[in-house]
Amino acid sequence: MTEKLYYKNSKLYTFTATVLSCEQKGEQFLCILDKTAFFPEGGGQKADNGTLDGANVLDVQEKNGIITHSTNKPLTVGAIVHGVLNEEQRFRRMQNHTGEHVFSGVVHATYGYTNVGFHMADDCMTVDFDGALNAEQLKEIEDECNRLIAKNVAVNCIFPSAKELETLDYRSKLELTEDVRLVEIEGIDLCACCAPHVEMTGEVGILKILDCMPHRGGTRITLLCGLDAFEHLRVHYNCNRKVSALLSARAIETPQGVEKLQEDIVGFKREITTLQTKINRLLADGLEQTDGSAVMFLDDAKADELRSLCNLCLPKCKQMMCVCSGNDENGYAYIIGSANVNLREKSKEINAALNGRGGGQPTMIQGSFKATKEEIIAFFNQQ
Ligand SMILES: [Zn+2]
């Protein structure tokens, strides 16, 4: 069994230990020490990182009480090595983990729900409960958690005897009756857990719920605590400040600012459509009446604009009305309308003459030409 130094002192960030074994596996080395302060992966939390005599500790796993460190360099068996943990990483994880105990304790005490899943990722943690929680309830839970954090309550680790254990009511009840480690947050929570925690809830600093969603008949909560929560809030605060400056709106009124912007966009689109129709009407009015065909060019027009202009111009020509948009280099999109010519039959001839593709109804066809403006004009002038 490896002695777990983190059990007794969660803030032991440096330690010395004797190397019991070191085996090469691939490009890594699996090292077992007589004792360690490195927390192995478990209970939804990743392993601690750090160094052992300068070798990087890449992973730490526990099996049957033996803790194995994966390093990038070999360690000498029998040597006394100096271990250094990534203190910042460990502390942030302890803040998050302890915050999760406070959170689960409050949910359990208030609603009787059990924490049925926990995962700590690098940017957030998720906790699953076997009951539904709504936004109002979550706000109250969040407030209560932050009150308890500010109260600075002691976090104790206790190892009760099998007999004592029988009389205790705690969360995450295990089948085991020996070597059970209970984490007690005085007056708030009692839970079996093997991970390291901070010593006082005040060290958690802050708890923030980020998201909640229904999950397997219960609720999945995403949250952050401590320095991670502060950093998250700072990023979001700065984003909102930028939006506030861009909208010239107060920071607490950015949603209303965006809503107004959306309303403005709807209004502008409506105005554009009205103006487009007016322009098309003017263009159609300017077209001379003809017994033959006519062709007109628009800059960067969409298909519906071409169709609208084509319809307005149709009464001006007996044969075909063609409206195009594009350029000589990339070709032209076209819409052709006619009241007298069967365009479905005619399209073959048109496309053949102007290197085109497309088709449609007897009264209107659409497609594209790979021809020059000059060639298109010349073709329709002869129709
Ligand atoms: Zn824990």
Q: 364: which residues sit within 8 A by CB, 6+ positions away?
A: 307, 310, 335, 336, 337, 338, 343
**Cα 195 to averaged position of ligand 1 atoms, centre (Å):** 5
> What are residue 364's DSSP bridge partners?
337
Tens of each residue's pLDDT in the chain, 383 residues: 999 999 989 999 999 999 999 999 999 999 999 999 999 999 889 999 999 999 999 999 999 999 999 999 999 999 999 999 999 999 999 999 999 999 999 999 999 999 999 999 989 999 999 999 999 999 999 999 999 999 999 999 999 988 888 888 888 766 666 778 999 999 899 999 999 999 999 999 999 999 999 999 999 999 999 999 999 999 999 999 999 999 999 999 999 999 999 999 999 999 999 998 899 999 999 999 999 999 999 988 889 889 999 999 999 999 999 999 999 999 999 999 999 999 999 999 999 999 999 999 999 999 999 999 999 999 999 98
**Cα 124 to averaged position of ligand 1 atoms, centre (Å):** 16
**Cα 276 to averaged position of ligand 1 atoms, centre (Å):** 65
Q: What is the pTM of this model?
A: 0.79
pLDDT score at 166: 86
pLDDT score at 174: 64
**Cα 181 to averaged position of ligand 1 atoms, centre (Å):** 10
**Cα 100 to averaged position of ligand 1 atoms, centre (Å):** 8
**Cα 76 to averaged position of ligand 1 atoms, centre (Å):** 34
**Cα 272 to averaged position of ligand 1 atoms, centre (Å):** 60
**CA–CA separation, 211 and 57 (whole Å):** 33
**CA–CA separation, 201 and 148 (whole Å):** 7
**Cα 86 to averaged position of ligand 1 atoms, centre (Å):** 19
**CA–CA separation, 325 and 60 (whole Å):** 65
Residue 372, CB-side half-sphere exposure with 13 Å CA sphere: 3
| Residues 356/370, Cβ–Cβ less than 8 Å | yes
**Cα 69 to averaged position of ligand 1 atoms, centre (Å):** 21
Query: Which of helix, strand or coil describes residue 198?
Result: coil
Nearest of 349, 358, 357 to residue 380 by alpha carbon: 349
**Cα 137 to averaged position of ligand 1 atoms, centre (Å):** 24
**Tokens 């194995």, residue?**
68
**Cα 246 to averaged position of ligand 1 atoms, centre (Å):** 43
**Cα 139 to averaged position of ligand 1 atoms, centre (Å):** 23
**Cα 190 to averaged position of ligand 1 atoms, centre (Å):** 10
Q: What is the torsion angle, in degrees rounded to the nearest 10, for the CA atoms of residue 189, residue 194, residue 197 and residue 200? A: 40
pLDDT score at 177: 67
